[in-house]
Amino acid sequence: MIKFKAETATGPLYGFGLTAENIALMLENQPLFIDLADMGPYGAGSPTGNIVIFYGQDEEAVLSAFRSAGLVTEETAILRPRTQGDA
């Protein structure tokens, strides 16, 4: 995976380029984890935390994978821009 951070007129832009190997891992139900600290020190106000990327055939499969991994519960706010018309 290639990761980058660029400064834009509207704020930071984080990019993640996935390889065929990354996709193959996700197809085998192995999500990708990204620690924002690995993106480098960017000073005060830099985002911290982690990003996880899952693959699923559809949004319900992705949500099921999140739940199976214990990452979301019924109380977790779930945003579905494509199915809710926000995209």
Domain ranges of the chain: 2-55
> What is residue 42's predicted lDDT score, i.e. its pLDDT?
58
> What is residue 17's predicted lDDT score, i.e. its pLDDT?
94
Q: Which residue has the tokens 């693959």?
A: 55
Q: Which residue has the tokens 């990204």?
A: 34
> What is residue 74's predicted lDDT score, i.e. its pLDDT?
84
Show pLDDT as tens, one digit a residue, over the chain (87 residues).
998 888 889 877 888 999 999 999 999 988 999 888 877 665 556 677 889 999 988 888 888 888 888 888 888 888 776 655 544
